[in-house]
Amino acid sequence: PELSEEPPAEMVKMTKSKTFQAYLPNCHRTYSCIHCRAHLANHDELISKASDPSSVFQNTVTQVATGCCQVTFLLTGLHAVADIYCENCKTTLGWKYEHAFESSQKYKEGKFIIELAHMIKDNGWE
């Protein structure tokens, strides 16, 4: 076999980007990751505590990464959900509702569930 006389392709050095930490305003009550104290959500974004031991938040959760989507049967029916992770310490915090198969559950789509065991209250709680 003949050797190619073309120069080898350029090597691209892959570097891990620095983790960015966003901080929610100190004037608001916030929830943070219990493991690393990264801010996760503003208390004003909390929708419900009815699904203990979890809390339901709207779309505005900060510093979370979403894993692969999986279809699973929950107490409220069939849903497509994805685990969510703290971007800072990589701890699994809960899940995100990607798709609800039952029309009565469509309001959950795009909402985040953060388990109470993985968050702590910060700023202005009495």
Tell me the residue range of the domain where 81 lies.
Answer: 44-122
Going through 60-106 in order, the beta strands assigned E by DSSP cover 64-74, 77-86, 92-100
Q: Is 1 inside any structural domain? A: no
Could you give the number of structural domains in the chain? 1
Q: What is the pLDDT of residue 75?
A: 87
pLDDT in tens, 15-57: 444 444 666 655 577 888 988 888 888 877 777 665 556 666 6
Q: Is 13 inside any structural domain? A: no
pLDDT in tens, 81-119: 999 999 989 999 999 999 999 999 999 999 988 888 888
Q: Is 2 inside any structural domain? A: no
More confident residue, 67 or 9: 67
Q: Is 73 inside any structural domain? A: yes
Q: Is 15 inside any structural domain? A: no
Q: How far is CA 101 from CA 18, 49, 52, 58, 109, in A?
A: 37, 23, 23, 19, 10
More confident residue, 13 or 95: 95
Q: Is 81 inside any structural domain? A: yes
Q: Is 14 inside any structural domain? A: no
Q: Is 48 inside any structural domain? A: yes
- CA 108 distance to own-chain centroid: 15
Answer whether residue 80 shows pLDDT above 60: yes
